[in-house]
Amino acid sequence: MSTLKSSAEDLTLNADGSGNDIIFQSNGSNVATLDQAGLLTATTFAGSGASLTGIAGKQTIWIPAAAITPTASNGCAARTQVETTAGRPDMDVLDFDDGSDEHAQFSVAFPKSWNLGTVTFQAFWTSTATDTDGVAWGLQGVACSNDGTIDVAYGTAVVVTDDNVSAAEDLLVTAESGAITIAGTPADDDLCYFRVFRDVSDGNDDMTEDARLIGIKLFFTTDANNDA
């Protein structure tokens, strides 16, 4: 069972049950949770001159189309700036057609706080037509270490599918993908290369027009609160 005890100057809270979390409440509402791995989550953190340790978890990186380059072989179209209406947001996009798998790549030097584990992604995209057809976006990665070759094979791709809502120029956001294992045994200070592509052989990819990639939201997990 859960216990509360003191010994000398220490106060011990022991959560011994099915949940094994220590939950802090204010006026009956949860405001913070300390899980069995020592990860503290809270609605807010405040203080002056204080430091918090053990704050880690899921993080994101936004990779816009402007930072993604068509691959030399089987690449998508070059980055295009598309005007919606004068004075309104322009779209920086990479066009992927429906005839064959087309690819683009980007690279990320993750922080040392990254736990070196799997990553996931969401594709932000739009269509050039008004319909409800689908598209399939794939992503795969490989890590390259200092003094190691960059001539290495990507890891296994993970694909996420999405359907056009209706109108051209609508912003479309896929669900979060499944876990992607980065090839090459990632280590601190590695450079990770990623290849994104349109998987036209996927059963959901039935768009006959270009799918326009706006960017990739990459998710990763940290196990430290800084890069020291």
Q: For 145-158, what is each residue's pLDDT tens digit?
A: 999 999 999 999 99
The whole-angstrom separation of Cα 43 and Cα 182 is 32
What average pLDDT does the chain have?
90
pLDDT band at 24 (very low <50, low <70, confident <90, very high): confident
Could you tell me if 177 and 60 are in contact, meaning their C-beta atoms sit under 8 angstroms apart? no
Q: For 110-120, what is each residue's pLDDT tens digit?
A: 999 999 999 99
pLDDT value for 191: 98
pLDDT value for 6: 61
pLDDT band at 190 (very low <50, low <70, confident <90, very high): very high
Which has the minimum average pLDDT: 31-35, 72-76, 122-126, 198-202? 31-35
pLDDT value for 17: 66
Residues of the chain above pLDDT 70, percent: 85
∠ Cα 222 224 228 (to 5°): 120
SS3 content of the chain, % helix, strand, coil (to 5): 0, 45, 55
pTM summary value: 0.77
pLDDT value for 166: 83
Domains of the chain, earliest start first: 3-47 (no CATH), 59-221 (2.60.120.260)
